Homo-oligomer: A and B are copies of this chain.
Amino acid sequence: MKVKRTLQDVEKKIIAFFLKNGRMPTYSEIAEIIGVRSKSVVHFWVVKLLDAGILRKDAKGFLTLTKNPRSLRLAGEVCAGLPASAEDEIRDIISFDEYLIRNPDTSFLLSVTGDSMIEAGIREKDMVVVESNRAPQNGDIVLAEVDGNWTMKYFHRKGGMVVLEAANPKYSPIIPQADLRIAGVITGVVRKYHK
């Protein structure tokens, strides 16, 4: 029970609270989760965390986490000695949500079925982000209706014509009829191993 309370302990418990509740804890709540009975003790630790730069106060005086607790180190290039040098705290790298999603309201997710874009590195069970009200550019990957089915194809403009091509030699290019229906443009791909 003589467990020395460390800055890291307190930090971790506050981060855990934030991840669970989607907001920062009050001083009373911090008192509960770190196991002290007085708010003044919390104040004591919060000042330490502020000095250490782990916490901040925003313009209104509310506590804020300095860095996104889900952000990852970005190890720029795969080169010598990389993984050992964990010293570089370049954690300024983003949340994937911000990175991938420009407009949540016009985007949706799709679980990929089929192998039509296999050579573009899009495989079955990948998730793709589709942005629906964006005009397809030449070379974009689009979600289009072909023979009543929605599939992904490269979008090409050749002369005045639109050609839809799979990234798979198994499938032939398609020159759509007048009523080409395009659901959206693929703006991102996400794959997860070890479900």
| Chain A residues close to B by CB (< 8 Å) | 21-24, 26, 29, 58, 60, 62, 64-65, 69-80, 82-83, 93, 95-101, 104, 107-114, 118, 121-123, 126, 129-130, 132, 140-141, 143, 148-152, 183-194
Choice from B74, B99, B109, B130 contacting A190 with Cβ under 8 Å: B99
B74 and A104 within 8 A (CB): no
The 4 closest A-B pairs by CB, nearest first: A96-B96, A83-B183, A70-B97, A73-B108
Q: A71-B104, A72-B109, A96-B97 are known; give 9 further A-B pairs, CB within 8 A.
A: A70-B101, A73-B109, A75-B110, A78-B149, A83-B150, A100-B190, A186-B193, A187-B192, A189-B191
A110 and B78 within 8 A (CB): yes
Q: Tell me the bound Cα distance from A84 to B111 in angstroms.
A: 17
Choice from B79, B108, B150 contacting A79 with Cβ under 8 Å: B150
Instruction: Summarize A's interface: helix, strand, loop or mixed.
Output: mixed
Residues of B within 8 A of A65 (CB): 22
Residues of B within 8 A of A58 (CB): 21, 23
Q: Tell me the bound Cα distance from A141 to B146 in angstroms.
A: 35
Nearest CB of B to A121, in Å: 4
Q: Tell me the bound Cα distance from A143 to B114 in angstroms.
A: 28
Residues of B within 8 A of A192 (CB): 99-100, 187-188
Residues of B within 8 A of A191 (CB): 121, 188-190
A76 and B193 within 8 A (CB): no
Q: Tell me the bound Cα distance from A78 to B83 in angstroms.
A: 40
B190 and A150 within 8 A (CB): no
B190 and A189 within 8 A (CB): yes
Nearest CB of B to A139, in Å: 10
B24 and A23 within 8 A (CB): yes
Residues of B within 8 A of A74 (CB): 108-111
Q: Tell me the bound Cα distance from A74 to B184 in angstroms.
A: 14
